[in-house]
Amino acid sequence: MDEDLEFVTLCQRGDVNAFKPLVEKHQKKMLNIAYRMVGDYEAACEVVQDAFLHAYKAIRKFRGEASFSTWLCRIVINLSKNRIKQMKTHSEREGVSLDAPIETEDGQVSHDPPSEEPSALEQMERKEVQTAVQVCINALDNDYREVLVLRDIQGLSYDEIGEILKIPDGTVKSRLFRARDALKEGLRKVFGELA
Amino acid sequence: MKCRDIQKELAAYLEGIISPKEKEGVENHLSSCQMCRKVFEELKRTEALVKGLEQVEPPPWFTQKIMSRVRAQQESKKNIIQRLFYPLHIKVPIEAFATVLIAVAAVYLFKANEPEMKRIHVPAATEQSASKDEVSKQPAETQGDTTILGGRVALEGVPKPQKQKGATRDKDQREQEVKEELKQRTVPPSAAEAPLPPVLAMKKEVPEKFTQTSKPPNQQLADRQHADTPAEQDQKIDSTAKTSGRGKAIDQRAFSTRLEVGTLSEKRAVALDISLHVRDTKAVKPDVENLLGQLGAQNIKKESLQTAEILTAELQTEKTQELLEKLKLLGEVKEKGLSSELPKGTIGIRIEMISPP
Alpha-carbon gap, residue B193 to B244, rounded angstroms: 31
Which H helix or E strand runs over B316? strand B308-316
Q: What is the pLDDT of residue B94?
A: 77
B276, B333 in Cβ contact below 8 A?
A: yes
Please check the confidence at residue B246 and state whether its pLDDT lies above 60.
Answer: no
Q: Which residue has the higher pLDDT, A3 or B153?
A: A3
Alpha-carbon gap, residue A121 to A137, rounded angstroms: 16
ipTM: 0.80
Mean of pLDDT over chain A: 83
Restricting to B residues 41-100, those with a Cβ less than 8 Å away from any Cβ of A are: 41-43, 45-47, 49-59, 62-63, 65-67, 69-71, 73-74, 77
User: What's the CATH fold of domain A2-89?
Assistant: Rna Polymerase Sigma Factor; Chain: A (1.10.1740)
pLDDT one-digit tens code per residue, B176-188? 665 565 555 544 4
Residue ranges, CATH 1.10.10.10, chain A? 117-191
Q: What is the pLDDT of residue A31?
A: 95
Chain A nearest-CA residue for B65? A49
Which range is most confident: A87-101, B18-32, B147-161, B226-240?
A: B18-32
Neighbours of B10 (CB within 10 A): 23
What are B283's strand-pairing partners?
Answer: none
Which range is most confident: B170-174, B197-201, B252-256?
A: B170-174
Q: What is the pLDDT of residue B179?
A: 59
Residues of A near B (Cβ–Cβ under 8 Å) read 16, 19-20, 23-24, 27-28, 31-32, 35-36, 41, 44-45, 48-49, 52-53, 56-57, 129-130, 133-134, 137, 148, 152-153, 173, 176-177, 180-181, 183-184, 187-188, 194-195
Please check the confidence at residue B128 and state whether its pLDDT lies above 80.
Answer: no
Residues of A in contact with B74 (CB under 8 A): 16, 56
pLDDT one-digit tens code per residue, B181-223? 555 554 444 444 444 444 444 444 444 444 444 444 444 444 4
Please check the confidence at residue B155 and state whether its pLDDT lies above 90.
Answer: no
Please check the confidence at residue B102 and state whether its pLDDT lies above 80.
Answer: yes
Which of B7, B10, B49 is the best mutation test for A, with the most CBs of A within 10 A? B49
pLDDT confidence band for A87 (50 / 70 / 90): confident
Q: What is the pLDDT of residue A144?
A: 93
Please check the confidence at residue B147 and state whether its pLDDT lies above 80.
Answer: no
Which range is most confident: A33-37, A61-65, B44-48, B335-339?
A: A33-37
Please check the confidence at residue B158 and state whether its pLDDT lies above 50.
Answer: no
B352, B275 in Cβ contact below 8 A?
A: yes
User: What percent of chain A has pLDDT above 90?
Assistant: 52
Q: Please give the sequence-ordered ranges of beta strands (E in DSSP) within chain A, or none if there are none.
A: 102-103, 109-110
pLDDT confidence band for A34 (50 / 70 / 90): very high
Q: Which residue has the higher pLDDT, B27 or B338?
A: B27
Size of interface A-B (CB pairs under 8 A): 100
Please check the confidence at residue B252 and state whether its pLDDT lies above 60.
Answer: no
Q: What is the pLDDT of residue A56?
A: 93
pLDDT confidence band for B226 (50 / 70 / 90): very low
**CB under 8 Å, gap of 24 or more: what pairs does B147-154 form?**
B148/B238, B148/B241, B148/B242, B148/B248, B148/B251, B149/B241, B149/B242, B149/B245, B149/B248, B153/B248, B153/B252
Q: What is the pLDDT of residue A30?
A: 95
Phi, psi (degrees; rounded to nearest 5) at A94:
-120, 85
Alpha-carbon gap, residue B266 to B129, rounded angstroms: 10
Q: Which residue has the higher pLDDT, B139 or A125?
A: A125
Q: What is the pLDDT of residue B188?
A: 46
CA distance A157 to chain B (A): 12
Architecture of domain A117-191: Orthogonal Bundle (1.10)
Alpha-carbon gap, residue B79 to B101, rounded angstroms: 29
User: What percent of chain B has pLDDT above 90?
Assistant: 7
Residues of B in contact with A35 (CB under 8 A): 56
Please check the confidence at residue A94 and state whether its pLDDT lies above 50.
Answer: yes
Alpha-carbon gap, residue B177 to B148, rounded angstroms: 17
Which residue among B42, B69, B77 places its CB closest to the CB of A194? B42
Residue ranges, CATH 1.10.1740.10, chain A? 2-89
Which residue among A27, A173, A176 places its CB closest to the CB of B63? A27
